[in-house]
Structure 1
């Protein structure tokens, strides 16, 4: 009950923003309720609704509701839909993630950041934002300061790209579904940002981008294992190293909503459900998405941008630019 009381104020704030966004979206369909929810969230989250009491509920709305939304999406997609990205799409994600990690790590060394902070930036940008940072931080024994600054920098980078990528993809690919989905799902830092950017284009791109992003999240286990090898103490015996690797990698399990997504996709591939079930799942998923997008907007704080200073922001800016540049090349080579 105490936890519920903490969540309620922030959740209600996000819910009200979502309701207003959908109402306004009916009159301005060119903008759409998703974009309006994000903008209202950013504006109100930095003015009238900038209150610590709302933090728990806003975070719940941004993360948990979005996770449920993604899990429900599995009911509307069978395995054929999920695998529509093809082997080229899987290869694109693998190369994009690998090159992002190498690029971000070298960039961190050039900017004279320490190894721990650079690895956190690698994980956050290559995989899934603050969730990946939270998973990798104990594995590489990162301190709380590096963890906090990297989460802020990655989230701000993703927020900027979230607004910019729908514009860039309209120029580059005229919003062609596969290429646009690959760019958004293959570069943006968090799942929420992927959904938000996709919604600024159309539902087909949102679905495709989410599939690309889910594949990146699945690879979190491999990234955690690689990082654990980089951080093992040289003085350990082979037995101790293997034991530590198993323990560290176990911490980086695939998130529950990704597992549920795939279970649902497998189920609907072989079992024909009454149309009311996928339609209801999609409707609920869409409603939860708009509430979550309001939460994403509210968690973007202008004060964070000022606080972290120019060097961290430069790191984020160069990282985001490099990710987009790599994705453009790989999409041209593999998907177009």
Structure 2
């Protein structure tokens, strides 16, 4: 999380845009600070603020602040909150992930004619946690750098599309049922940051539930990595190396999140601490969406190519359909 000198300009830009969006939200409460930040970022990032000097700082702002926000969210929860997901909530995530990976493999082989390794990258990115999952899987299947970059771009763009669609769609499908809306967002959207960003466009309660569902997916990353290593018929040595990476496959913010939930369950934290945690988490959510908007370039869309973009968007649609069926069946 160390900030380099060349990243400061991009970080300052994102913070200014986030503060401005929070101020403008007072006049446009229905859009909200998160929505305003994303819209302004998308417009400015492709017009006035295209300087390369901003790039690394904007990417930093998209990744790290939201991780702190997720970690802090643990201080506002207890085991009782998590228990509300129930065994059916866990089953929903596991079954959904298996079905998504199977769908990606079948589509990749019979419809879009991509390699097995490309399908694995797409499967990991869509089923687990976007670019982080792709980065974890790529080494154990010896994927090409170009394949990895294409998968990251496609999965990220699919997540952005869902970010725009799901706030309204979940309202239509589930009304004001926050747990079900959180399940849809947390069970389908690709990256952790995009999950929080999408849920933030709905309401804070949905952010909580969506984050819980998403973290269940993140915790299963190690299973996906080891499974894909085996599918790729790697040597025993490579599988053992993947197993050695188990600890790093559990991000620090997941560990901190769980630790704070345990602490808050054992001894209730003061209201002041809850308020600070919620305020910071909310602001970091605005920062995340401002950075996502600034970071989404038309050139990235172009580089993904028609075939992979179509692949990604079809998978995204299948994710939503499968999640809806499972939510109606299990939750």
TM-score range, shorter chain: over 0.9
| Alpha-carbon distance change, 51 to 250 in structure 1, aligned in 2, over 3 angstroms | farther
CA-based RMSD: 1.3
Structure 1 Cα separation of the partners of residues 233 and 55 of structure 2: 36
1:49-73 C-alpha deviation (Å, 9 max, x unpaired): 1122111111111111110110111
1:198-253 C-alpha deviation (Å, 9 max, x unpaired): 111111111110100011000001111111111234xx5xxxx1x43231133252
Map 1:116-135 → 2, pairs under 5 A: 116-135=117-136
1:225-282 C-alpha deviation (Å, 9 max, x unpaired): 111111234xx5xxxx1x4323113325211100000000001100122211111111
Map 1:289-300 → 2, pairs under 5 A: 289-300=285-296
The answer to whether 1:281 aligns with 2:277 is yes
Q: Which runs of 5+ in 2 are unaligned?
A: none
Residue 217 of structure 1 aligns with which residue?
A: 218
Deviation at 1:308, TM superposition (A): 2.0
Quick check: 2:200–2:285 contact (8 Å CA) kept in 1? no
Residue 206 of structure 1 aligns with which residue?
A: 207
SS state at 1:112 partner: coil
The answer to whether 1:248 aligns with 2:249 is no
Structure 2 Cα separation of the partners of residues 31 and 226 of structure 1: 42
Residue 76 of structure 2 aligns with which residue?
A: 76
Residue 44 of structure 1 aligns with which residue?
A: 44
Structure 2 Cα separation of the partners of residues 82 and 56 of structure 1: 36
Residue 311 of structure 1 aligns with which residue?
A: 307
Map 1:104-123 → 2, pairs under 5 A: 104-110=104-110, 111-123=112-124
Map 1:23-38 → 2, pairs under 5 A: 23-38=23-38
The answer to whether 1:88 aligns with 2:88 is yes
Quick check: 1:175–1:201 contact (8 Å CA) kept in 2? no
Residue 254 of structure 2 aligns with which residue?
A: 258
**TM-score normalised by length of structure 1:** 0.95
Moved over 3 A (4+): none
Deviation at 1:3, TM superposition (A): 4.8
Structure 1 Cα separation of the partners of residues 267 and 113 of structure 2: 55
| Alpha-carbon distance change, 150 to 78 in structure 1, aligned in 2, over 3 angstroms | same
Aligned length, in residue pairs: 327
Residue 143 of structure 1 aligns with which residue?
A: 144
1:284-329 C-alpha deviation (Å, 9 max, x unpaired): 2212221121111111111211222211111011100110110011
**TM-score normalised by length of structure 2:** 0.96
SS state at 1:308 partner: helix
